[in-house]
Structure 1
Amino acid sequence: MFSGSIPALATPFRDGAFDEDAYRRFVDWQIENGSTGLVPCGTTGESATLDNDEHHKVIATCAEQSAGRVPVIAGAGSNDTQTALWHIKEAQIAGADAVLLVAPYYNRPGQAGLLAHFSYLAERTDLPIMLYNVPGRTVTDILPETVIELHRRFPEKIVSIKDASGDLSRVVTHRMGAGPDFCQISGDDPLALAGYVLGQKGCISVTANVAPKLCADFHTAALAGDYETARELNERLYPLHRAMFVDPSPAPAKYALSRIHDWFEPDVRLPIVECSDAGKAAVDAALEGLGLV
């Protein structure tokens, strides 16, 4: 279910509200350009500033518009276990194929708390679960021994991890402890090529929002073991990877999308603000270098 180029979809806003029409066009554009899965309500989707009704609406819109063409992996995590369960249930009703569960943030649970949190959720859903470890944002780190134990307890349920720890040695540790069938996905575009060599199968990507065809071509080559082509494409994409974080995300991605599509506004929600002039210049240079504008 999980492989290749999977954009963590930006959520378009217009006049402060979710722009459903733009989102439907965005979903179609992504699929038409080779994205192999979609993640609504991830970090790039500004899930932290969506209210619950909006959160569920975004997932339902993505699932309806994709219409089974690619898997929909719905962001459903929370720092509150019961809220996470609510998001999971709504995602299942909406037709999502799997859920992405971030480590509980702010609370800073220990490894025992993480085991209890994810076990509780796994016992109460039929959907496959992809863990999401991004300690740079959550502070909490899902350590490899916890990942391995969760997969051991729920081998048919906790089947994957999106790893944005930046520690590529974990790919080997997870593979050796959980086995090669445990699906590992990169959470860092610049590290995706190295991750393939070590055993990852794809990337939940920021850059794929903006350059879905090039990202899909890169991941197709890497999955096939054609590392020469993958390396060439990675180096072409690298300035765009960097530009996506020149200002706090997803402001650069949304600005880039507004340059490519007249139906996608660059609007973000506070406390994120729109791209700075320097950020816009970096994004413009990357887009022009790839011939995207």
Structure 2
Amino acid sequence: MAGITDLPFRRLVSRFGAGLVVSEMVASQEMVEAKPSVRARAELGFGEQATAVQLAGREAHWMAEAARIAEGQGARIIDINMGCPAKKVVGGMSGSALMRDLDHALRLIEAVVGAVTVPVTLKTRLGWDDDTLNAADLARRAEDAGIAMITIHGRTRCQFYNGHADWSAIRDVKDAVGIPVIANGDVTDAPAAAQALRCSGADGVMVGRGIQGQPWLLAEIGAALFGAPAPDVPRGDALADMVIGHYRDMLDFYGRDLGLRVARKHLGWYMDGARSPASLRKRLLTTKAPQDVIAALPEALAHAPERVAA
């Protein structure tokens, strides 16, 4: 998720025991040309264990070159984004716009698969709209082209994030291919993940927005569904210590000024979960003094409700 799954957050999530984390979506041509916007967004975690680097683009040449660079820097997996619904991405004929031209989508897939030796995966949606539900067709062709795994968000592009993800519709994709299929969309806890698996027949789930403010969620779902070790979910002083550590990592990573801006959304999500007092929340999200934030976080997070693991 652009602007969210940066390296400090992915490292935090991974410490709880996530099976796989994915970098922010990166524009392939910008990555090759090393434009400042990409460099400012952060190093992608090349060489980090259990990390996929996600690329987006509309031209085979740039996609292939970006994939080569990512692999050369140590990326373990290359993920191709054909699911982003954002207007600025779709307007550039990237992301989910590629669901409208599967021949062109396949040229990009073939270029990336042919450029690297690491596994290449694909993230997409059910289709462009309700009249173009072609994810199964794309999945079959992608598998033939060498894609190792495919993740399907259970909405069309035109739905954006409205309504509820249709996990049952993902079953058509699962039935069409032999490679692993991952269900995505509205997976916010272990019961939702279990239902998504039952409805879709998928091999696993991918969590997106549900992870915001809950870096332990992936490990919690893994423990409930697959018997992985259960994470020690922090509360009280342990929660404050974790959030302070994440806050400091963001400031160190981005520098003070940009770090303050990036950190606000994460602090907001943590305080949402802790039901922090409104006045304290406002003060922490508007101050420009990191030491004041660090000093006040234990109070802001002191009353986080107890949660029962699913």
Relative to the length of structure 2, the TM-score reads 0.58
- Is contact 2:213–2:273 with CA below 8 Å preserved after alignment? no
Shift of 1:219: 2.6
User: Which one has more relative contact order, counting CA pairs under 8 Å at least 6 apart?
Assistant: 1
Partner of 2:197: 196
Q: Secondary structure at the match of 1:123?
A: helix
Cα RMSD after superposing both structures: 4.2
Letter in 2 for 1:175: K
- Is contact 1:76–1:91 with CA below 8 Å preserved after alignment? no
Partner of 2:247: 261
How many residue pairs align between the two structures? 227
- Partners in 2 of 1:150 and 1:49 — Cα distance? 19
CA deviations 1:250-270 (Å, max 9, x no partner) are xxxxxxx789634433525xx
Q: Secondary structure at the match of 1:189?
A: coil
Q: Secondary structure at the match of 2:22?
A: coil
Partner of 2:273: 286
Partner of 1:10: 4
Partner of 1:206: 209
- Partners in 1 of 2:248 and 2:102 — Cα distance? 46
Letter in 2 for 1:284: M
Change beyond 3 A, Cα 1:199–1:290: farther
Shift of 1:38: 2.0
Relative to the length of structure 1, the TM-score reads 0.61
1:222 equivalent in alignment to 2:261: no
Change beyond 3 A, Cα 1:134–1:176: closer
Instruction: Give the unaligned 5+ runs of structure 1.
Output: 1-6, 13-22, 234-256, 269-273
Partner of 1:174: 173
Structure number with greater Rg is 2
Q: Secondary structure at the match of 2:115?
A: coil
Q: Secondary structure at the match of 1:63?
A: coil
Partner of 2:20: 37
Matches within 5 A, 1:41-60: 41-42=24-25, 47=26, 51-52=30-31, 53=34, 55=38
- Partners in 2 of 1:81 and 1:161 — Cα distance? 19
1:127 equivalent in alignment to 2:125: no
Shift of 1:201: 0.8
Letter in 2 for 1:176: D
Identity %: 12
Letter in 1 for 2:15: E
- Is contact 1:59–1:96 with CA below 8 Å preserved after alignment? no
Partner of 1:105: 90
